[in-house]
Amino acid sequence: MITTIEKQTGTAFRLKKGQWLKVTDPKGEQVSDMVLFNALDKAEKLSSGKTLDFEETLLITKGHHLWSNRSNKMMRIVEDTNGRNDFLLAPCSPETFQIMYQNSDYHPSCFENLHTNLAPFEILPDDIPTAFNIFMNVQFAANGKLSVEPPMSKAGDYMLFEAMMDLIVGLTACSAEMSNNYSFKPVQYEILERSPAS
């Protein structure tokens, strides 16, 4: 069953060890922020620092794993039809829009959409780690300078993940203007009992 995450919203759900998660960009140029928690012990969660360390690259894609703060594999990346994702930048939050966009009005954000949807799992706002930002296109220059560019994903691009432990997953259709080429679109996901290819 394909579920749609409407633009500038989010969701959270359980994913059992061995199940597969397919995350699709149905219209193109849309980012989805994903966070992961061990369903059996929520103090274990996704870690950018551990993932970049163990995979020895800034660019996490097919063949890599997403690692936890306790150095365990949380997901294996089975497929990535686009190939450009970000694991550097924190989910956009109300302060992102105040500090980086000089917008002090209310603005939807991945941070709010993650913590409100994860609240029923007793996960607090302060528990939200740096997300794995599917299809987010953050370019880095040789001098370290970071720039957020339009996603390179086309309509129908997807990533496929295998759960390596029982997980709670938080997932959004990202709300930040610059990250999505100034047009907000939905994200779709599907939970599969096994790889579609097998």
Residues in touch with its own copies (CB under 8 A): 43-44, 47-50, 52-54, 56-59, 69-71, 88-91, 93, 95-96, 99-100, 124, 126, 128-131, 140, 142-147
Burial of 56 (0-12, 13-18, 19+ CB in 10 A): exposed
CB of 73 to its own copies, least distance (A): 10
Q: Which is nearer to its own copies, 2 or 43 (CB)?
A: 43
- Structure-block tokens of residue 108: 């939807």
CB neighbourhood size of 180 (10 A): 23
Q: Which is nearer to its own copies, 22 or 174 (CB)?
A: 174
Burial of 147 (0-12, 13-18, 19+ CB in 10 A): exposed
CB of 103 to its own copies, least distance (A): 14
Q: How far apart are the first and last CA of the chain?
A: 18
Q: Which is nearer to its own copies, 40 or 100 (CB)?
A: 100
CB of 106 to its own copies, least distance (A): 16
CB of 146 to its own copies, least distance (A): 5
- Structure-block tokens of residue 127: 């528990």
Residue among 191, 189, 194 at smallest CA distance from 30: 189
C-alpha distances out from residue 108 to 18, 105, 147, 173, 184, Å:
33, 10, 21, 11, 11
CB of 2 to its own copies, least distance (A): 30
Q: Which is nearer to its own copies, 71 or 183 (CB)?
A: 71
Q: Which is nearer to its own copies, 85 or 117 (CB)?
A: 85
